[in-house]
Amino acid sequence: MNGKSTVRRPYVRPMGGWWRRDPFFMRYMIREATALAVLAYAVVLTLGVVRLAQDEAAWNGWLDALRSPASLLLHAVLLVAMFVHAKSWFEIMPKTMPMLFVGGRRVAASTITRIGWAATVLASVVLIALAWGWRT
């Protein structure tokens, strides 16, 4: 605008709800929305360490809160969202990382994605084994 009012009304394509127009955009928005779950879980854990730093009663209060139906429902949603995030993170990774060559051949995108998924499975198994098995 140069300050002069104009009588012309140029067509402006409405963009509201643009991401509902195409399944590709829907997947994009679902993938981006997993950040809400990652944030929510960071908040849950922050509350946990705050309570841990206070005393045992405060910590047990946090554990009790985790047992509430609302918390279980929230964490069921977070679990699905984290899974979607892990799945999509490694699907995008071949596009965001530098090209990778092994023996002069470019590593296929699907190979990179599968290695990422395998790493997640391995890390999950190790973490759960440590949590269940680690006794000092």
- Contacts with another protein, residue ranges (CB under 8 A): 15-16, 19, 29, 32-33, 35-36, 38-39, 41-46, 48-50, 52-53, 56, 59-60, 63, 66-67, 71-72, 74-76, 78-79, 82-83, 85-86, 89-90, 116, 119-120, 123-124, 127-128, 131-132, 136
Smaller CB distance to another protein: residue 27 or 71?
71
Smaller CB distance to another protein: residue 77 or 108?
77
CB 101 → another protein: shortest distance, Å? 21
CB 10 → another protein: shortest distance, Å? 19
User: Got the DSSP string for 84-127?
Assistant: HHHHHHHHHHHHHSPP-EETTEEPPHHHHHHHHHHHHHHHHHHH
Smaller CB distance to another protein: residue 16 or 103?
16
Signed CA dihedral, 77, 79, 80, 83: sign only:
positive
Distance CA(46)–CA(134), nearest Å, equals: 23
The letter for the amino acid at 19 is W
Between the CA of residue 6 and those of 14, 81, 110, what are the distances in Å?
20, 48, 53
Smaller CB distance to another protein: residue 105 or 110?
110
